[in-house]
């Protein structure tokens, strides 16, 4: 029996660098992982490409997807829908790939409810001070936006207990390897190897019948 992939939910504060960590993970282990691309009704920003950052769809199209149960989870932020298309996720899992969903806590909890075997990772900078520094050093955000993000981070921090693993992103390369190690180890969980356990049990039963 072919091994099924793990459905991974990756969340983290804005500025924790989870996007960079996931990109590097895919680059280093292209055969192991697949990144799910979300669908959204918000407009593409400069530099964003349909099918890369998001699938950009109309509200009517999105509501059709909901009606036809074509999303594994979706949520509405402000006036826009965001959701995870089902087909890609299911195909990649069946093919044995570990599928990464980069989504926020609201979606993460819905995934855990629907797929109890999903693996929830929370990526955090080493400290809040470091998070603030990173946001400031980007130089692209106004102080107001930085304050809003830190406030948002505080709210999000109350959801961390719902995640399985807490991974600190101090050095990118170490963090990537740590995420990869966690997923590799998760493949050894008894609950993910029931067919192996059954195989050895059957084989042992054969011996006892005195062949």
Interface with a second copy (CB under 8 A): 122, 124, 127-129, 131-132, 147, 150-151, 153-154, 157-158, 160-161, 163-168, 178, 181-182, 184-186, 188-190, 193-194, 196-197, 199-201, 203-208
Closest separation between CB of residue 33 and a second copy, Å? 17
Q: Which residues pair with 122 in a beta bridge?
A: 11, 166
Closest separation between CB of residue 142 and a second copy, Å? 16
Side-chain half-sphere CA neighbours of 133 within 13 A: 7
- If the CB atoms of residues 66 and 136 are measured against a second copy, the closer one turns out to be 136
Closest separation between CB of residue 76 and a second copy, Å? 25
- If the CB atoms of residues 66 and 196 are measured against a second copy, the closer one turns out to be 196
Closest separation between CB of residue 147 and a second copy, Å? 8
Q: Cα separation of 122 and 133, whole Å?
A: 20
Closest separation between CB of residue 22 and a second copy, Å? 17
- If the CB atoms of residues 67 and 204 are measured against a second copy, the closer one turns out to be 204
Question: Which is nearest to 189 in space by CA: 9, 1, 36, 3?
Answer: 3
Question: Which is nearest to 176 in space by CA: 5, 36, 26, 53?
Answer: 26
Packing angle between helix 18-28 and helix 172-186, nearest 10 degrees?
Answer: 70
Whether the CB-CB separation of 100 and 19 falls below 8 Å is answered with no
- If the CB atoms of residues 27 and 151 are measured against a second copy, the closer one turns out to be 151
**Structure-token pair, residue 165:** 């693993």
- If the CB atoms of residues 68 and 188 are measured against a second copy, the closer one turns out to be 188
Residue 17, Cβ neighbours under 10 Å: how many?
21
C-alpha separations of 88 from 7, 58, 95, 165 in Å: 12, 20, 11, 25
Closest separation between CB of residue 83 and a second copy, Å? 26
- If the CB atoms of residues 95 and 196 are measured against a second copy, the closer one turns out to be 196
């Amino acid at each position: 029996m072919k091994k099924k992939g793990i459905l991974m939910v990756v969340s983290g504060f804005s500025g924790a660098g989870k996007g960079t960590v996931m990109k590097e993970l895919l680059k280093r282990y292209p055969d192991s992982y697949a990144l799910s691309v979300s669908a959204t009704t918000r407009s593409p920003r400069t530099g964003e490409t349909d099918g890369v950052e998001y699938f950009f769809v109309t509200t009517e199209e999105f509501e059709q997807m909901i009606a036809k149960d074509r999303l594994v989870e979706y949520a509405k932020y402000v006036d826009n829908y965001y959701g995870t298309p089902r087909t890609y996720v299911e195909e990649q899992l069946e093919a044995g790939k570990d599928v990464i969903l980069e989504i926020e806590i609201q979606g993460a909890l819905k995934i855990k409810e629907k797929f109890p075997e999903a693996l929830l990772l929370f990526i955090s900078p080493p400290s809040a001070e470091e998070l603030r520094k990173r946001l400031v050093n980007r130089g692209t955000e106004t102080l107001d936006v930085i304050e809003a993000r830190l406030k948002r981070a505080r709210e999000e921090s109350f959801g961390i207990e719902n995640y399985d693993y807490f991974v600190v992103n101090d050095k990118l390369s170490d963090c990537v390897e740590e995420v990869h190690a966690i997923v590799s180890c998760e493949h050894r969980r008894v609950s993910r190897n029931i067919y192996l356990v059954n195989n050895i049990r059957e084989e042992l039963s054969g011996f006892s019948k005195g062949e």
